[in-house]
Amino acid sequence: MQTAYTVLILLMLVGVSRLLWRVIPLPLPLVQIAAGALLAWPTLGLHVALDPELFLFLFLPPLLFSDGWRMPKRELWRLRGPILTLAVGLVLFTVVGAGYFIHWLLPAIPLPVAFALAAVLSPTDAVAVSAIAQNRLPTPLMHMLQGEALMNDASGLVTFKFALAAAVTGAFSLANASLTFVLVAVGGLAVGVALSWLVGRLRVWMIARGWDDPATHVVFMLLLPFAAYVLAERLGVSGILSAVAAGMMQSWLDLLPRQTSTRLLNRSVWSLLEFAFNGLIFLLLGLQLPDIVKAVASHETSLWPTLLYRCLEVLAIFLALLALRFVWVHSIWRLSELLRHWRGKDPLSGMAKGRSCWLLTVGGVRGAVTLAGVMSVPLLIAPGVDFPERDLLIFIAAGVILLSLVTASVVLPLLLRDLPKSQDDKHRSEVREAWKKTAEAAIHVLEAEELGTQQDVALDATQAALATELKAQLMAEYRHQLEVFNDSAEAQALAFQMDQLDRRLRLKALRAQRLELYRLSRQHQIGDDVLREVLAELDLSEANLGSVK
């Protein structure tokens, strides 16, 4: 029962931390780390023992799957050059540069272990950056950070596993490792795509037979990242890349017919899962902080001088990572701008090169994936032999995460101080055009619809009049949509006012329906099953209205 109580307490803390974040001007991860550390204070004494393999398996597959699902694929392809250089080139540059620096700064850490630590410090967290920037980061830069975060999760963790294997076995060959890396990566991607495609075909088969219960399909989606990860690992390829590929593939397969309810439920469930898992990871970091601090200073006679030196070492490693990232970003940005100028293309962003480079540099915040990876370091390197400096590795990773979050919280608002909130005009134009085209298509279909044809049941005069009236109402609604997305500012303003009035009236009517439904239930005129069914329809209709001003 103690384990169940601990899980419930942590989940409650995840929710409470979100409420505290509303009033505390700090990034949510920092609030959650502080809450976990407070909970682990000796007077409260909550302690959670973590199994490294279980921690890796439980947290990484769903988070990576969700990242792959949410990533805008078209933008990923358009910015594939800069993203690949950041997600692959920068990871390898960081592993080599930071690995040698860590080994030089801390000789007690063997070189393969230093490479492993540098690899696990490579993945970035675009979600934290988005929360800090508050939609003021230029859209191309935000897409670059999102694409980098998605792909360097995979490349960094795969490199981390290779370096970890070299640290455990003591053997390493660059040629063999390079070939194995390619095979493992390609195999992991293939397994994820194939399994996700098979699940999609299974869902199509189920839907064709009327088995379209949303809960069943969502359960399949919840199990898919774990299945992709386990299957790939059993086949000797990358389970990490398999989970990412499964998420990216499933985002295309999610557009199945007759699955509107499933998509609504799926998005809600995955939003909840992602929020809970990210929060739990940072809470667990806070819970582990007292033990981590004790472990790194346990062999020393004095606590505070040792802790001060360790903090200075973490600061030096963070600054080295920052310098390596800036050098790489600045070099690649200059090369990319030269190539785009040579091809006659517009610059990547509409701001100065120096500011763009610093935004990308400071935007490389470390987060949940780094922590999950370092927590997966094995306790023993061999039977009876502890993994070298495991506690110090976790301390360094935790310190780098904290410093990157604090630095981004301070520096990003300064860099974005005189910039307006990001307005992606191209995106808004595409949304307007999509609504116009879909409305036009609906009007054309309604105009071409013949009432009372041989394919339909014959209509009497009354039914034909009602059908004509309904058809006219539908066409009026779609013509109203065309007015809303008209290019004329006056027409848009008038249509917006009419739309808001219509929404207020509909919302008032829906709330009256809900009150009447509650009254019928209280007076036992309807049963609970009827109440739930009708209430779900009313809630969905109200959700479709959107925000009403």
By percentage, how much of the chain surpasses pLDDT 90? 10
Q: Please give the angle made by the CA atoms of 427, 428 and 432, to the nearest 5 degrees.
A: 120
What is the number of helices (H) and of strands (E) in the chain?
Answer: 21, 2
Q: Which helix (H) or strand (E) holds 407?
A: helix 390-415
CA–CA separation, 52 and 75 (whole Å): 35
**What pLDDT score does 195 carry?**
94
Average pLDDT, the chain: 78
Q: Is residue 337 a contact partner of residue 328, using CB atoms and an 8 Å limit?
A: no
CA–CA separation, 161 and 391 (whole Å): 18
CA–CA separation, 86 and 154 (whole Å): 12
Residue where the block lists tokens 């009026």:
476
**What pLDDT score does 100 carry?**
92
**What pLDDT score does 485 carry?**
66
Q: Is residue 207 a contact partner of residue 167, using CB atoms and an 8 Å limit?
A: no
Q: 253 pLDDT exceeds 50? A: yes
Q: Is residue 238 a contact partner of residue 232, using CB atoms and an 8 Å limit?
A: yes
Per DSSP, the three-state class of 415 is: helix
Rounded CA Rg of the chain: 27
**What pLDDT score does 495 carry?**
67
Q: 32 pLDDT exceeds 70? A: yes
**What pLDDT score does 98 carry?**
93
DSSP strand E in 202-311: where? none
318 confidence band (pLDDT: 50, 70, 90): very high
Q: 456 pLDDT exceeds 60? A: no
- Give the type of residue at 383: P
CA–CA separation, 263 and 411 (whole Å): 38
Q: Is residue 158 a contact partner of residue 185, using CB atoms and an 8 Å limit?
A: yes
Q: Which residue has the higher pLDDT, 76 or 487?
A: 76
Question: Can you tell me the mean pLDDT for 302-323?
Answer: 87
- Token pair of 112, please? 């393969």
Please classify residue 475 by burial: count the beta carbons closer than 10 Å to its beta carbon, then call 0-12 exposed, 13-18 middle and 19+ buried.
middle
- Give the type of residue at 47: H
Alpha helices in 416-527 (DSSP H): 425-448, 461-484, 489-522
Q: 256 pLDDT exceeds 90? A: no
DSSP strand E in 107-158: where? none
CA–CA separation, 240 and 181 (whole Å): 13
Closest CA to 207 of 221, 217, 198, 215: 217
Q: Which residue has the higher pLDDT, 171 or 497?
A: 497
By percentage, how much of the chain surpasses pLDDT 70? 77
Q: Which residue has the higher pLDDT, 1 or 391?
A: 391
Q: 451 pLDDT exceeds 70? A: no
Q: Convert the pLDDT of each residue in 155-211 to its tens digit.
A: 787 788 778 877 777 666 666 667 777 788 888 889 999 999 998 888 888 888 878
Please classify residue 405 by burial: count the beta carbons closer than 10 Å to its beta carbon, then call 0-12 exposed, 13-18 middle and 19+ buried.
buried
CA–CA separation, 496 and 490 (whole Å): 10
Question: Can you tell me the mean pLDDT for 341-359?
Answer: 70
Q: What secondary structure, in 3-state letters, does 305-346 show?
A: HHHHHHHHHHHHHHHHHHHHHHHHHHHHHHHHHHHHHHHCCC
Question: Can you tell me the mean pLDDT for 527-542?
Answer: 75
Q: Is residue 184 a contact partner of residue 237, using CB atoms and an 8 Å limit?
A: yes
Residue 225 main-chain phi, psi, to 5 deg = -60, -40
Q: 421 pLDDT exceeds 60? A: no
**What pLDDT score does 420 carry?**
58
Closest CA to 330 of 300, 298, 353, 314: 353
Question: Can you tell me the mean pLDDT for 477-494?
Answer: 68
491 confidence band (pLDDT: 50, 70, 90): low
Q: Convert the pLDDT of each residue in 98-128 to its tens digit.
A: 999 999 999 888 888 899 899 889 888 776 7
**What pLDDT score does 465 carry?**
75
Highest mean pLDDT of the ranges 213-227, 242-256, 378-392, 516-530: 213-227
Per DSSP, the three-state class of 417 is: coil
- Token pair of 545, please? 């209205």
Residue 123 main-chain phi, psi, to 5 deg = -60, 140
Q: 323 pLDDT exceeds 90? A: yes
CA–CA separation, 434 and 456 (whole Å): 31
Q: Is residue 67 a contact partner of residue 273, using CB atoms and an 8 Å limit?
A: no
226 confidence band (pLDDT: 50, 70, 90): very high
Question: Can you tell me the mean pLDDT for 214-224?
Answer: 87
Q: Convert the pLDDT of each residue in 1-15 to its tens digit.
A: 667 777 888 888 888
**What pLDDT score does 57 carry?**
80
Q: Is residue 155 a contact partner of residue 91, using CB atoms and an 8 Å limit?
A: yes
Q: What is the pTM of this model?
A: 0.73
Q: Is residue 69 a contact partner of residue 247, using CB atoms and an 8 Å limit?
A: yes
Asked whether the CA dihedral 509, 510, 515, 516 is positive or negative, the reply is: positive
- Token pair of 176, please? 């063999």
Question: Can you tell me the mean pLDDT for 323-340?
Answer: 85
